[in-house]
């Protein structure tokens, strides 16, 4: 007999919002931050590619909804976004943006439109998704924290995380410019010029918010290919919807 998974009763309790426990298919609990937007983009792309539907619960992390028991039962890490697949029985919760995107790639992107069939290209997508998950998002997140939200201005911390974020932008610039291959690329993963994939979706919501993080046009000058990549992805309908009104909480 297969080992038991958490039951519906363990996942959903009386405090769980009705829209979460009554959801039928893919359901995303999110807020439109860069981490939320990564999975929002993937879901909107799946909608355009396959007509895949999903529903959402929009929360405000300022009110610490994500630290309540109903949320921790779905994601003990207490952070958005959380994806729940209610077509599994019992429902299957997924936390961590990249894991959510890989889940959607496996179960909702049957043609690998946003992934790769070739195992080496697939591995490139894993490399660049991990790169941003481990070395981009945490640094740029700390820039935002120390620049905007920390109660005191600690110059060392601000400089440390700003410099590290500029360094990882530089890594993306090396890749996209084709500095060592002679061939500029359009997207992060895939041979040749690359193919739009989950690696781009994971990375883009952060990098496009460089000005929010306090970087200037001068700071961004060394990254012309990265700036073009930001515009290229920003033109997609699914991406526009994923960062738009639909995911803003009503005030
Ligand atoms: N490694 C996580 C990070 C998620 C994360 O940091 N989410 C932030 C919003 S962007 C959050 O929920 N913060 C609220 C909190 O920490 O309580 C992921 O990739 O999903």
- Ligand 1 midpoint to CA 97 (Å): 9
**Residue 90: pLDDT over 90:** yes
What is the pLDDT, as a whole number, of residue 5?
Answer: 93
When pLDDT is averaged across residues 91-111 and rounded to a whole number, the result is 98
| Whether the Cβ atoms of residue 124 and residue 190 lie closer than 8 Å to each other | yes
What is the pLDDT, as a whole number, of residue 202?
Answer: 98
Question: Is 36 or 251 the better-scoring residue by pLDDT?
Answer: 36
CATH architecture label of 8-113? 3-Layer(aba) Sandwich (3.40)
**Residue 230: pLDDT over 70:** yes
Nearest to 91 by CA among 197, 11, 188: 11
Q: Model confidence at 119, in pLDDT bands (50, 70, 90)?
A: very high
**Residue 218: pLDDT over 80:** yes
Percent of all residues in the chain with a pLDDT value above 70, rounded to a whole number: 99
Ligand 1 in reach of 82 Cβ (< 6 A): no
When pLDDT is averaged across residues 2-27 and rounded to a whole number, the result is 95
pLDDT, mean over the chain = 97
Q: Which of 33, 74, 78, 80 to mutate for ligand 1's pocket (most ligand atoms within 8 Å of CB)?
A: 80
- In this structure, which residue's CA is closest to atom 9 in ligand 1? 80
Q: Which of 77, 79, 139 to mutate for ligand 1's pocket (most ligand atoms within 8 Å of CB)?
A: 79
Domain with CATH 1.20.1050.10 in the chain: 119-236
- Say how far apart CA 153 and CA 171 lie, in whole Å: 28
Q: pTM score > 0.85 for this model? A: yes
pLDDT in tens, 137-190: 999 999 999 999 999 999 999 999 999 999 999 999 999 999 999 999 999 999
Element (H, E) at 57: strand 54-58
**Residue 201: pLDDT over 80:** yes
When pLDDT is averaged across residues 222-250 and rounded to a whole number, the result is 97
Ligand 1 in reach of 33 Cβ (< 6 A): yes
**Residue 250: pLDDT over 90:** no
**Residue 1: pLDDT over 80:** no
**Residue 213: pLDDT over 90:** yes
When pLDDT is averaged across residues 101-117 and rounded to a whole number, the result is 98
Q: Give one DSSP letter per residue of 134-171, joined into a string.
A: IIIHHHHHHHHIIIII-SS--HHHHHHHHHHHHHHHHH
Ligand 1 in reach of 142 Cβ (< 6 A): no
Residues paired with residue 92 on neighbouring β-strands, in sequence order: 85
DSSP state of 249: P
**Residue 128: pLDDT over 90:** yes
Ligand 1 in reach of 203 Cβ (< 6 A): no
When pLDDT is averaged across residues 69-86 and rounded to a whole number, the result is 98
What is the pLDDT, as a whole number, of residue 3?
Answer: 86
CATH architecture label of 119-236? Up-down Bundle (1.20)
- In this structure, which residue's CA is closest to atom 11 in ligand 1? 79
Domain with CATH 3.40.30.10 in the chain: 8-113
Joined together, the tokens standing for residue 50 give: 């396959």
């Amino acid at each position: 007999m297969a080992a038991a998974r958490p039951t519906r009763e363990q996942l959903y309790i009386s405090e769980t919002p009705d829209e979460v426990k009554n959801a039928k298919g893919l359901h995303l609990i999110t807020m439109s931050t860069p981490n939320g937007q990564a999975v929002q983009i993937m879901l909107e792309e799946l909608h355009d590619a396959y007509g895949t539907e999903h529903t959402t619960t929009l929360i405000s992390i300022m009110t610490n909804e994500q630290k309540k028991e109903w949320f921790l039962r779905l994601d003990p890490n207490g952070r958005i976004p959380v994806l729940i697949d209610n077509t599994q029985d019992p429902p299957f919760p997924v936390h961590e943006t990249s894991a959510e995107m890989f889940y959607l790639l496996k179960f909702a992107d049957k043609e690998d439109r946003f992934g790769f069939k070739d195992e080496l290209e697939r591995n490139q997508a894993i490399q660049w998704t991990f790169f941003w998950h481990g070395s981009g998002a945490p640094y740029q997140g700390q820039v935002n924290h120390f620049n905007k939200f920390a109660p005191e201005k600690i110059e060392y911390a601000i400089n440390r995380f700003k410099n590290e974020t500029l360094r990882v932008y530089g890594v993306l610039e090396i890749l996209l410019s084709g500095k060592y291959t002679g061939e500029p690329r359009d997207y992060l993963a895939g041979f040749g010029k690359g193919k739009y994939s989950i690696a781009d979706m994971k990375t883009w919501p952060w990098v496009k918010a460089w000005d929010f993080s306090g970087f200037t046009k001068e700071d961004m000058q060394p990254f012309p290919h990265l700036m073009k990549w930001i515009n290229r992805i920003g033109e997609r309908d699914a991406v526009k919807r994923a960062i738009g009104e639909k995911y803003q909480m009503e005030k």
